[in-house]
Amino acid sequence: MAATASPAPTLDAAAVLQRSESQSQGLTSYQVPVTISGSVRVAILSVPFKMTGTQYYQAPDEQALHLDNPPSYARGLGNTLSTMGTPQTWLRDYTIAAPVSQPHGHHTAYVLTGTPKRESRVKTMTMWISAATYGIESIIFSYTNGASLTVTFQRHHGATQYHLPRSATVVAKFPSYSGNARIVYGDYRVNQPIPATVFAAH
């Protein structure tokens, strides 16, 4: 019999996220320089910006983004990116409904929608996870005030052992500002000690 394209296996949300997480098995920490460039629209002005900084991750669920002297009008975007969380924190912080598989780009992705377990500014979080690689491809955060944040990741498989993103695009729509940006990740330093102070509120 001729082989036909098999549909994505039926998995629950925890299984999909677990497979996504298993991509980074053995990854205890990383730090990576980031360059974020784009524009922010404040009132009627659209202002270009370029920020640099460092993103840190410590297993299982610590994440921090430290920006070097961000322009004041782009700070909101920096703060929003800092509080996005990771697959490990999403399962803890959100009740995630059963995934739906649907076409996404040239392949199939699982679509997972989560609602916060505790009171939050986030109303829902929707993510698309590749049914082939289990890499997280895009995430949309919808906020209670009607705001939204969309992040789409570009991964080059084999570029890093753990399929970490090489770049991402961000579209933010908030009452006080809107903006779009591209994040470019530099060379990852993986499994190196990171001081706990990095993750303290700053």
List CB contacts of 1: < 8 A, sequence separation 6 or more: none
Q: What confidence tens digit (pLDDT) does each residue in 39-74 have? A: 998 778 899 999 999 999 988 778 888 999 888 877
193: in domain = no
170: in domain = yes
State pTM to two decimals: 0.84
pLDDT on residue 201:
63
7: in domain = no
Number of domains in the chain: 1
137: in domain = yes
- Phi, psi dihedrals of residue 27, rounded to the nearest 5°: -90, 110
Per the structure, the complete domain to which residue 56 belongs is given by 13-187
Report the C-alpha gap between 87 and 89 in whole angstroms: 6
153: in domain = yes
One-letter amino acid at 42 equals V
Report the C-alpha gap between 179 and 47 in whole angstroms: 9
3: in domain = no
What is the rounded radius of gyration, in angstroms, for the C-alpha atoms of the chain? Answer: 17
Q: What confidence tens digit (pLDDT) does each residue in 151-162 have? A: 999 986 655 577
120: in domain = yes
Positions in the chain whose pLDDT score sits under 70: 1-9, 156-160, 201-202
A 10 A CB-CB count for 65 gives 20
The helix/strand/coil state of 4 is: coil
List CB contacts of 116: < 8 A, sequence separation 6 or more: 93, 94, 95, 122, 123
pLDDT on residue 2:
47
Report the C-alpha gap between 141 and 143 in whole angstroms: 6
Q: Give me the DSSP letters along 24-50.
A: TTT--EEEEEEEEEEEEEETTEEEEEE
Give the number of C-alpha atoms closer than 13 A to the C-alpha of residue 122, restricted to the C-beta side: 22
Beta-ladder partners of 170: 151, 181
Name residue, tokens 């070097």: 68
195: in domain = no
CATH of the domain at 174: 2.50.20.10
pLDDT on residue 202:
53
